[in-house]
Amino acid sequence: MNEFRPFYLGRYKILGELGRGAMGVVYKALDSALARVVAVKTIHIQDPNIALTQEDVIETFSQEAKIAGALTHPNITAIYDIGYDQGIHFFVMEFVEGLTVESAIEKSMQMLIIEKLKIIATIARTLHYAHKRNVIHRDIKPANVMILENSEPKIMDFGVAKLKGGPLLNKSQVGKIFGTPNYMSPEQIKGEDVDHQTDIFSLGVLAYEFITYKRPFLATGLKELFHSIVDKAPPTLSSYDQSVPVELEEIILKALSKDKTERYAYSNQFADALELFIDQMETADAVSERVLITDEKQKVIEALKKNYMFFSDFEDSEIVEIFKLSSRDVFDAGRLIFEEGSAANKMFIIIEGAVRIFHKAQQGAEIEISVLKDGDCFGEMAIIDNSPRSASAVALNKTIVVAINEIVLRITHPALCVKLHKNLASIISEKLRKSDQRLHELIEREKREPGP
């Protein structure tokens, strides 16, 4: 094997090859201006069977950079730059290390089913983020999802993504079918106009394969494969793995419905179903942990109603009901409760102990935001919009918390959830009002006390 010789594309020092496909090569590189490691994707057509002109490929390449670059989400590979140098078109993206779902499947990697489901649910939430911005991926498959060291997934490769309702990129795409055959939806195979539902089906295939390590649609050739996807029901997951519960089978198979109107209407509904099932799994053998002991419960209720406006108009019985639907978790000193950028669906109330909230700056430096103690709440933005965590939380000593799962609350007690949403929205609105007021005061002070 020839030794790789580093070279430059613009300000990016190319250090080595990470992988190559039919239309491009991805390199590991160093951004000489920002001193950070990145990935650089270039155009390099190797497959003679690709019936696209160089102009078509460049246009498709540019479209991928623009679509993915418009999506800012911790579970989507970030696009930093696009450029042209020495006759080479390239774009620069986040360098991620980990294991693809495809590799995990190929190795039959030993993972708890609950860990797999959390990854799938996060992918579904991330797709919902993209879908809300009218982006359809069209090629969701195990090879395009990286599992990082912290078990968070990253969706990669928006090479065949499209904007919902957007025009075809060029004339060469008329009549073309985009995607990877084993993960295509029936409507993709039939050449119909696709919407976000196609990604839900593809994620269903990924979920099926990730859980069982078997594909739902097997065939000896492309024609037979397409026939199976369009017309044949997949085997039950339990036919491959008897430990898969019937309830989980129903969740996955709904995503694989041939008729897209019978699938989940939106990918966040798929995530909701998975996360509700996860919650049931986590508490099935620990029902007693759902309910706090009487004196502890009363102490917390009084503290919440006294210290937090959004609990002040709740009846004691309503707060008790929230506790019954919540888990009581214990974190030892130094244990991470959640990480910045991770998926969020729970808020926490500290029963005992202390929690440090911090933000990670560039070069790994930590910026402390606050230290919270008994009776304090944190992570409440998860209750509002399931947005990724904007900071990390770690236990400073042995800490006991109540974790309120928004999805469980919304599905089992919608009236309580609406009340909590309304009260939290009022609090956030008040925080914004105070922030605006402080900003106005600072501006006025600057006007009165101009600098030198």
Q: Where are the beta strands (DSSP E) in 236-298?
A: none
Chain centroid, CA 391 distance in Å: 16
432, with CB counted inside 10 A (0-12, 13-18, 19+), is exposed
Structure tokens at 68: 């993915």
Quick check: is 139 catalytic?
yes
Residues 187 and 197: beta-carbon distance below 8 Å = yes
Q: Torsions phi, psi of 398, nearest 5? A: -60, 120
Residues 26 and 7: beta-carbon distance below 8 Å = no
For strands 7-9 and 12-20, give the pairing. Answer: antiparallel
- Helices (H) then strands (E): counts for the chain: 14, 19
Packing angle, helices 197-212 and 113-132, rounded to 10:
170
The C-alpha atoms of residue 412 and residue 275 are separated, in whole angstroms, by 13
Q: Where are the beta strands (DSSP E) in 396-446?
A: 399-405
**CA angle (217, 117, 339) in 5-degree steps:** 140
**139, 272, 279, 329: which is the annotated catalytic residue?**
139
Chain centroid, CA 187 distance in Å: 25
Among all residues, which ones are annotated catalytic?
139
